[in-house]
Amino acid sequence: MSLVLPESAAPATENGLQIAMRGIVESLYGPPVRRLPGLDIGRAYRGAEGEFRYGGDVVDVFHYGAGYTSLAVVDITGHGMPAARNAGLAKHALRAYASNYLDAAECVRALNRLCIENSAFEGDVEFFATLFFAIVQPDRCTMEYVSAGHDAAYLIRSGETQVLGATGPIIGLMDNDDAFERRLVQLSPGSIIAAVTDGFSEARDTNRVFLGPEALADVVLRNASRDAEEQAEAVTQCAYDYAGGMLHDDVAALVVKVAPQRWT
C-alpha cells in the first residue's frame, strides 16, 4: 500500500505524536495486500497538508473462508485518536461479521447497531461514518455491496462505468435495519472496482471548485493498463495535483481488478 503523509509529518521532522499517528495509520491498514486469488489489489493513502491529524479513513481488504473477499472503504467523522479508535472498531467489526458469513447488508446493519450502542454505552461523541462495503463471492462472478452514504464508488467493465450508488444512510444516523439494502452486480474478467473517501471528491482547486466523485472513474480509465496499486496511487495523486498540493482532508483509495483470464 502506498502511504503518503504531509511534509510536516515526514520522518525527518516527526515529533512523538506524529510518529504515533503514523504508526496508527500503518496498523489500521495492515500489511500490503497486492494479490489475492483472481484479484489485483491496490490501496493508497495521502494525508491532508499542514499539521498531520489522522482523520479516520480506512481501506480494508479481507480474504476469508472458501475464497470470499470483503472490501471496505470507511470514512469516519472527526480527527485524531477518537477517529482512529472508531476506524479500528469499524474495520475489525466488519471482518468479524463477514467471517461469520453474514451477507453485506447484515454486516453493515450489525456495524450500525454496534456504533450506536457503543456510543451510548461509553457516553462518547456520536460516531458517524460513510461506508462502501462489498463481498466478492467465491465464484467471483458476482459482488454484493452496501453503500452507506458513500458517493464515490464505481464498477468499470469493458470501458463502461457503473455508479455503485448509495443503498442506505450514513453509519450511526438511524437505528433502523431496514434502512440498509444490498445490491448485486455482475463481475467479469477485467472488471475494475474503485472507491475513495470524500477527501478525493472534496479536493478544491485555486477557484475553490470541487474535484467531484466523477473524476475517480476518469483517473481509473486513464490508467487502465497499470496494475491496481499504481492506479490507486494515481487516484490520490490526482486529488493532490488538483488541489495544488494543499489537500484539506485525507484521501484513501481502493482499486480492485478482476483477473482477465477465465476463472478456474
Distance CA 53, CA 249 (A): 9
Q: Model pTM?
A: 0.89
What is the pLDDT at residue 264? 42
What is the pLDDT at residue 16? 65
Q: Compute the average pLDDT of residues 41-58.
A: 78
Q: Which of 155, 157, 171, 30 is nearest to 92 (CA)?
A: 30
Domains and CATH numbers, the chain: 2-258 (3.60.40.10)
What is the pLDDT at residue 78? 78
Where is average pLDDT lowest: 39-43, 53-57, 142-146, 240-244?
53-57
Question: Pick the residue with more confidence: 3 or 93?
Answer: 93
The HSE-up count of residue 65 (CA atoms within 13 Å, CB side) is 16
36 φ, ψ (degrees, to nearest 5): -130, 160
Q: Is the pLDDT of residue 8 over 80?
A: no
Distance CA 212, CA 202 (A): 6
Model pLDDT for residues 90-118, shown as the tens digit of each residue: 999 999 999 999 999 999 999 999 999 98
What is the pLDDT at residue 161? 94
In the chain, the percentage of residues whose pLDDT exceeds 90 is: 62
The three three-digit cell numbers of residue 2, written as one number: 502506498
Model pLDDT for residues 151-185, shown as the tens digit of each residue: 899 999 988 999 999 999 999 999 999 999 999 99
Q: How confident is the model at residue 66 (pLDDT cuts 50, 70, 90)?
A: confident
Mean pLDDT of the chain: 87
Q: How confident is the model at residue 15 (pLDDT cuts 50, 70, 90)?
A: low
The HSE-up count of residue 64 (CA atoms within 13 Å, CB side) is 15
Q: Compute the average pLDDT of residues 253-259.
A: 95
